[in-house]
Amino acid sequence: MIRVNEALCAVTLGAFLLPGVAANADVAIAGGQVIQLEKTLSDVRNLWVTPEDFTRINGFEVKPEGACHEDICIPLRQDADGDLFVKRDGQSWLNATMFADKVQQSYVVDRESGVWSFGMVPSSRKAFLDSAVAPDFELVDRNGDTVKLSNFRGKKVLIITWASW
């Protein structure tokens, strides 16, 4: 019952006091993973997620100095509500779409179904684009084993893509 009430409140208040906690769970697709977002702040334009889901979406970790990935840290004010960060009932929320715009991460959204799909962050592609470092990936092979490209260091690898079509 409590859960239903919370949901109703969120829907009612959401229209007036954005962002509020949304009743509907959204889904994010990123890095080959389908991420079920437990709850999000309702906001017509932006996708607000928990710090854990934020990292799953773009690889950036929320630290006191900002949102960081490898040697890049994007400043992120966490002592007051802002465009990228808000706190509600002790829970931190991050604006994944505005952050994507900031770091030029491509994304699309199917609004009707609340499914957001994120592309790659360009700064994480520099080694590939500028220095020909093979981008790493993990895929499951036909034996059900996880294949990680970087595990083949020390060998020469030929990747061949093909298709039945």
Q: Could you list the residues that contact other proteins (CB under 8 A)?
A: 27, 29, 32, 34, 106-108, 110, 113, 115, 117-120, 122, 128-137, 139-142, 147, 149-150, 152-165
Q: State in angstroms the smallest separation of the CB of 113 from other proteins.
A: 7
Q: Which amino acid is at 137?
A: F
> Are 27 and 114 contacting, i.e. CB atoms less than 8 angstroms apart?
yes
Q: State in angstroms the smallest separation of the CB of 46 from other proteins.
A: 16
Angle (CA) 75 81 85, round 5°: 50
Q: For residues 72 and 149, which CB has a smaller minimum distance to other proteins in the complex?
A: 149
In the β-sheet with 107-110, what is the strand arrangement from edge to edge? 33-36, 27-30, 115-118, 107-110
C-alpha–C-alpha distance, residues 136 and 134, integer Å: 6
Q: State in angstroms the smallest separation of the CB of 157 from other proteins.
A: 4
Q: State in angstroms the smallest separation of the CB of 114 from other proteins.
A: 12
Q: For residues 13 and 139, which CB has a smaller minimum distance to other proteins in the complex?
A: 139
Q: State in angstroms the smallest separation of the CB of 162 from other proteins.
A: 5
Q: For residues 15 and 34, which CB has a smaller minimum distance to other proteins in the complex?
A: 34
Q: For residues 10 and 49, which CB has a smaller minimum distance to other proteins in the complex?
A: 49
What dihedral do alpha carbons 83, 89, 92, 96 form, nearest 10°? -50
Q: For residues 17 and 129, which CB has a smaller minimum distance to other proteins in the complex?
A: 129
C-alpha–C-alpha distance, residues 9 and 87, integer Å: 18
